Amino acid sequence: MTTSSTVVPAPPTVPGRRRAVPWATVLPLAVVLAYADGFWVTSMRGAVGAVGRGQGPYTTWWHESSVVVPFYVCAVLGALALAVHVADRRRGGGRTPLLLTAGLVVVAATLVGFVEMAVGAAYDFHLQSGQLEMMSSMRGDCRADCIERLRADTWWLQVRATGVGTGLLLLTNLGAVAWVTMFLGGRLDTVRPSRARGGWAAVVGGRRLLLAAALAGGALIHVAVVPEHLEEWVAAAWFFVALTLVQAAAAVLVLRGPVPDRLALLLVAATSVGPLVVWVWSRVWGLPFGPDPGVPEAVGLPDCAAGVLELVALVLAVALLRRGAGDPDRAVADRRPRTEHLSRLALTAVLAVTLIGVAASQQGWFDIVRPENPASSEMG
Amino acid sequence: MSTSTSSEQFDPHSTESGGIQRRTLLRLGAAGGLGAAIVAARGFGGPVLAQQGLLSPDGAFAASSTTLGDLLFYVEAFPTSPLILSPFTDPLPIPKALSPVPASTFSGWAKPPGPGVGQQNSFGSEQHQIWPSKIGYPDPIVYKIDLLLRTHSFTTSQVLPIDSNGKPTVSFDAYGATYAAGTKRWLPMSTIYGFNGTFPGPRINAEYGKPVLVRFENHLDENPLGLDRQDFGSPDWSFLTHLHNGHTAPESDGNPHYCMTYGPKSTGYGPGTFCDNLYLNWPAGGDDREKQSFFWFHDHRMDHTGSNVYKGMVGLYPIYDPKYGLDMGDERQGLRLPGVRRDNADGSFDVDYDVPLAFYDCRLDDGVTTHKDVHDGMGEFPAAKNPATHPEWWGKTFYKHFPNHGFVGDIFTVNGTAYPTMVVRRRKYRFRFLDASLARIYEFKLMASTKGPKSSASLGYSGDELEGQYRIPDGQQCMQFTQVASDGGLLPFAIKRDSFELWPAKRREVIVDFTRYQDGTPTTKGDVVYLTNVMKMPNGRMWSNSSRFSPDPNYKVPVLKFVIGDDAPDDSLIPAPGQLLRQLPPLPGNWQSMLDNRLIFEVERGSSSADVEWLINGQPFDPSHDGVSLKNPAGKTLPAQQKVGSFNLWEIRNGGGGWVHPFHLHMEEHRVVMRNGKDTTKGDPSHPDDVSREDLAALDPGESVIVYRGFRDFVGPYVAHCHNLAHEDHAMMFGWEITP
């Protein structure tokens, strides 16, 4: 790897300037890393994943890699923030060693890839366990201890695959970061100078923006599941339409004015607590009404994603309420670069969860197997 | 080494020409590196991927998954068999016709065969769907075949234990002794589960119009010789015999879809049970054009077909057509194909100069290769205590159920004997080729060699290149084959061929004229011609080299030695060019209008899990249900069910992944009408026998075929499956049904 320079002095601290997120570095890195890692995640699934999953691997790859790009953005942002932090502590500001930055990006991206692979492996194991029982019951020549042995073998296979896969991800990410660095002229900017803070964040504060994003994300997921519920139970579809409208309205209200409105925050808390309670109830005990009263519903990715966003919205709303609705968002005044990075990271994380939730609500975007038949894949 | 914390405007180098050049160079380097990688991948990887049908976005992932699977999952560690030191000395065994059971004998059986309810098997639960009298045929000729635990020897030669580098290595015996490297040994007998205790099993010479009933009786629980059963073969010693590809009722078809839902309602017929398979020897629809010429019977026990076949459950069933003497084994009549018929006193008959050749590859245990198998985890062979090495099994057959790409051996046998010799008369012969291997595909040529076979080890080969053990480096093609029949019986016209491929379970019948070479030179007594395999197939996935793809001129493995003997009378004829042998059943003129409503089945590798890996339309085999077609162009997702008496188009697709699939459809023969979207009804030079009837579609990677087939005479459940038996046993099968 080549560096841009080893003798370049620290950039001047210009009054009125702040150090913003270098999106021209972050986005290419995140995209390249997401698709490169996605290749191995998909290939590994094809090698040792559950039968029925992993069909149409090219489609799976670009679908899933696209969906996880925001997570890689988070990883790169986090790595850059940490690099700046380390550099600040070492020298009180100045150039961040390229190898440190690159190394942190590699580690962070590998961590994301590892989680993706491990989650996939766990899901595969879950499906394979079910399949073992199905095949055994079909033939009747594999009793309980035999199923346990096969399950243990399958578990060990998934563990080994995840281990080997992580090694491949690490090597791939090393290469990818080196290549992107070369493509960027031998440098990895950790910050980007900016004259003044502008945009939404400057007007409404980072936490309000985050709160609005979480609400909007939840609304998007809820509107995405309306068609599915229309087929099952029209009342449920109307509930999600109403919830979408309320969450969208709450997002707008939160963003209005120089300070957050207390009433709006209370509305946010209510629109978050309500669906969360309904969700937990429906998954644990089953709703007492509807097509299957008292029958717990299956937990799915879209509802988990919406639940996470509602929880985030609730926590942020409570935090803003506790501080006092009229107080300015402290984040506005905080100009430390890693804070800028971290606020963008939080926003991107909300985007990532939203994207996962929306994508999972659409048939064919994830290689998910229907619970009623472990061998059938929803892949289009 | 550092990076800038700011954008370029803060970097003094951005204003220096040196810095700009360096950055530009780096960017160019990155772009150039990417470009070079793409060009290199296309240049080097492209052809390899193309040969494996993987030159597509999905294919690249499949190749990568397969490589990872090899690393993590597949256990392709097979032993290197000891080198047979004196090949081509054992005579080729040619099974004689099995004697039928006299009526006086079978009528005295406790449960005699018959048309009544409960007379089809020992459970008393089934009845023959069509007894011969129903179609005006005589009562069946009855045979009895016992499933027996016995031994088999593949060679009488001494062997030299070698390792994967072809170097002499240590060996062992069943008593715990170890023998130093370089010690020549005699092989122990291998344990088999055999039809009447032999490998190959009996040969039944059948005739159209004369039904046959075979009582298959399971005695595999009896071990009078005190044999070690090793760690393969169905663990409950059950069997299920399929006459491949007889036009039979489901209860006599020996298929798991039937077996799991009717009759025994389990994976097979266990010890102490029997079933009567009734083979009507009746062409589909009573149409003479549907007559076939060479069946074989083999085990089809669910999940253990491969291990049972490998353990010996193979039998031969040539079928002759006496109508107008067309093909009745008498070269003075009809088509005058080679064959001199001798009628035996017991009602059977033999046909000289009409020789079945069953090809089978095996590996013998080297005592140091670990037996590691998914089936160990299922507790099937607890006594083996696998994973473990088994020096006590040194020299006996080695098998691995799963996971592997499909089992291939390194010793090639014909009719159960490794590298045999056949002294032939100076005349024409009819050879009935059968690939009884589990996964290996062969491509045969007839070659002459001045210097004769050399061991691959002595030629410096190692690893997979040792497969086949011997080569004829100076081998040159010296004769041609005249192909007269394929799976579905006589071709419409004979085809002259330099070589032909033989896929698992496929049959090809050829005439070889041993009186002269292809250049017209007469043969002389003592001349030698080698039947030579030129297809290199290092594992069960697909070939690495063959005449069609990347021929390897050095891969010439002799499998059978013909020694020209004395002259003999010869009344046979080689069919003249264009001479009609058997008319093809007609295709409807509007067959193309049936395309939209066809049934579509895509065979594909899933991914690894437990003992299921192979799928059809994304589903593993479910013996209790019929499969379902993919959505067809008419927008329908149809169940795999056909009305009796109907005809339809079925499409079989190879979903890719770098595997070839010999896909077998039970019940009626089909005719390929389209291959890869092209009409083949007028012939396809790359698949010359697409114009014949077949029961097995040979699917190259990524290929698809559309076949026209009928569903006549019987109702009930059947199956279709890949005949790479590792694939079949691990779920690449679907059930289908003929409905009333």
Question: Measured between CA atoms, how close is B52 to chain A, in angstroms?
Answer: 17
**Per-residue exposure over B170-189, b if at least 16 CB sit within 10 Å of its own CB, e if not:** bbbbeeeeebeeeeebebbe
How many other CB atoms sit within 10 Å of the CB of residue B369?
18
Q: Please state which of the ranges A220-234, A317-331, B399-413, B601-615 shows the lowest mean pLDDT.
A: A317-331
Q: Is B180 in the same domain as B194? A: no
Assigned domain for B105 exists: no
Q: Is B138 in the same domain as B165? A: no
Question: Measured between CA atoms, how close is B720 to chain A, in angstroms?
Answer: 19
Assigned domain for B462 exists: yes
Q: Is B533 in the same domain as B620? A: no
Q: Is B477 in the same domain as B409? A: yes
pLDDT value at residue A97: 84
Q: Which of B547, B579, B611 is the last residue of a domain?
A: B579
Q: What does the block give as tokens for A94?
A: 């100045």
Q: Which of B557, B579, B601 is the last residue of a domain?
A: B579
Assigned domain for B546 exists: yes
Which residues of chain A make contact with B266, given a CB cutoff of 8 A? Answer: 140
Where is pLDDT greater, at A223 or A257? Answer: A223
Which of B2, B66, B618 is nearest residue A96 as measured by Cβ atoms? B2
Give every residue of chain B whose pLDDT is below 50, as ranges. 1-18
Say whether B610 and A57 touch across the interface (CB within 8 A): no
- Mean pLDDT for all residues in chain A: 82
Q: What ipTM was predicted for this assembly?
A: 0.81
Assigned domain for B43 exists: yes
Q: With a CB-CB cutoff of 8 Å, which residues 5-34 of chain B face chain A? A: 5-7, 9-13, 19, 22-24, 26-27, 29-31, 33-34
pLDDT value at residue A13: 46
Distance CA A58, CA B659 (A): 18
Q: Is B399 in the same domain as B506? A: yes
Which of A57, A97, A188 is nearest residue B58 as measured by Cβ atoms? A57
Where is pLDDT greater, at B693 or A206? Answer: B693
User: What is the 3 state secondary structure string of A340-372?
Assistant: HHHHHHHHHHHHHHHHHHHHHHCCCCCCCECCC
What confidence tier does A20 reach under pLDDT thresholds 50, 70, 90?
A: confident
pLDDT value at residue B535: 97
Put simply, whether B452 touches A (Cβ < 8 Å) is: no
Question: Measured between CA atoms, how close is B66 to chain A, in angstroms?
Answer: 6
Q: Is B180 in the same domain as B196? A: no
Q: Is B118 in the same domain as B198? A: yes
pLDDT value at residue A132: 79
Query: Which chain B residue lies closest to A81 (C-alpha atoms)?
Result: B5
pLDDT value at residue A243: 92
Distances in Å between the Cα of B677 and the Cα atoms of A76, A371, B651, B652, B681 are: 48, 36, 10, 12, 12
pLDDT value at residue B569: 97
What confidence tier does A8 reach under pLDDT thresholds 50, 70, 90?
A: very low
Which of A9, A46, A145 is nearest residue B607 as measured by Cβ atoms? A46
**pLDDT at residue A10 tops 60:** no
**pLDDT at residue A380 tops 50:** no
Q: Is B302 in the same domain as B213? A: yes
The β-bridge partners of B426 are: B567
Say whether B4 and A46 touch across the interface (CB within 8 A): no
Query: Which chain A residue lies closest to B34 (C-alpha atoms)?
Result: A179
| Strand-strand pairing, B274-279 and B171-172 | unpaired
Task: Confirm if B397 and B190 have CB atoms less than 8 A apart.
Answer: yes
What confidence tier does A204 reach under pLDDT thresholds 50, 70, 90?
A: low
pLDDT value at residue B1: 38
Number of domains in chain B: 4
Distance CA A117, CA A41 (A): 6
**pLDDT at residue A11 tops 80:** no
Interior angle at CA B60, CA B57 and CA B63, nearest 5: 150
Q: Is B29 in the same domain as B55? A: yes
Assigned domain for B364 exists: yes
Say whether B3 and A187 touch across the interface (CB within 8 A): yes
**pLDDT at residue A9 tops 60:** no
Range of the domain at B258: 113-153+189-320
Query: Hey, is B204 helix, strand or coil?
Result: coil
pLDDT value at residue B683: 83
Q: Is B139 in the same domain as B165? A: no
Assigned domain for B731 exists: yes
**pLDDT at residue A140 tops 50:** yes
**pLDDT at residue A201 tops 80:** no
State the DSSP H helix or E strand holding residue B375, giving kind and residue range, or none if neither: helix B374-377
Which residues of chain A make contact with B387, given a CB cutoff of 8 A? Answer: none
Which residues of chain A make contact with B613, given a CB cutoff of 8 A? Answer: 51
Assigned domain for B678 exists: yes
Q: Is B570 in the same domain as B597? A: no
Distances in Å between the Cα of A163 and the Cα atoms of A167, A296, B141, B256 are: 6, 35, 62, 39
**Per-residue exposure over B553-576, b if at least 16 CB sit within 10 Å of its own CB, e if not:** eebbbbbbbbebbeeeebebebbe
What confidence tier does A142 reach under pLDDT thresholds 50, 70, 90?
A: low
What confidence tier does A197 reach under pLDDT thresholds 50, 70, 90?
A: low
Residue in B58, B380, B609, B625 to test binding to A, most A beta-carbons within 10 Å? B609
Q: Can you give the CATH number for the domain in which B364 is found?
A: 2.60.40.420
Q: Is B667 in the same domain as B688? A: yes
Q: Residues A246-294: pLDDT tens digits? A: 999 988 888 887 777 788 888 889 888 998 999 999 888 888 888 888 8
- Looking at residues A63-80, what average pLDDT do you find? 94
Q: Which of B579, B610, B634 is the last residue of a domain?
A: B579
Share of residues in chain A with pLDDT > 90 (%) = 40
Assigned domain for B342 exists: no
